């Protein structure tokens, strides 16, 4: 269960309110997550960028999303896939590991290479679902210290 998000969105229901936030105020709401100092800074920066560059509207384009503070390729792909149902493959540690172990990728050295190999072989309409299948398989079946058969 996510204990951070509901109270966070009560205080900051939109990008404009978050863009005006003080660092301490955001930190207090997210302090139980990993790296709260960096995340608090990036959340405020992202909200300011969203308001200033995009009029408060989340862009659907992966390259545009990555212009926002704290938004890397994986996060941009998650947003494009989950929010906009685009054929974008977010590669986290689970996807990276599972894809290599089950032979969906060959000698991919980093998440970008994994992403490129996966999207080449998975039909566009399945990519948003495949991302979740690989993550769940990696979390619950093909764990880091366990082989997957």
What is the set of active-site residues?
Answer: 74, 92
Burial, 70: exposed, middle or buried (Cβ in 10 Å; 0-12, 13-18, 19+)?
Answer: middle
| Structure tokens given for 115 | 């992403």
* Residue 52, φ and ψ in degrees, nearest 5: -70, -40
- How many CB atoms lie under 10 A from the CB of residue 129? 11
């Amino acid at each position: 269960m996510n204990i951070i998000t509901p109270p966070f969105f009560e205080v900051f229901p939109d990008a404009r309110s978050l863009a005006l936030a003080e660092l301490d105020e955001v930190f207090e709401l997210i302090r139980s997550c990993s790296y709260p100092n960096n995340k608090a800074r990036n959340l405020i920066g992202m909200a300011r960028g969203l308001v200033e560059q995009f009029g408060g509207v989340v862009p659907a384009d992966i390259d545009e999303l990555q212009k926002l503070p704290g938004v890397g390729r994986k996060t941009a792909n998650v947003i494009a896939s989950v929010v906009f149902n685009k054929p974008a493959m977010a590669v986290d540690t689970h996807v990276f590991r599972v894809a290599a172990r089950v032979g969906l990728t060959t000698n991919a050295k980093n998440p970008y290479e994994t992403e490129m190999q996966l999207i080449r072989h998975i039909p566009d309409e399945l990519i948003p679902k495949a991302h979740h299948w690989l993550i769940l398989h990696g979390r619950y079946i093909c764990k880091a210290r366990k082989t997957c058969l």
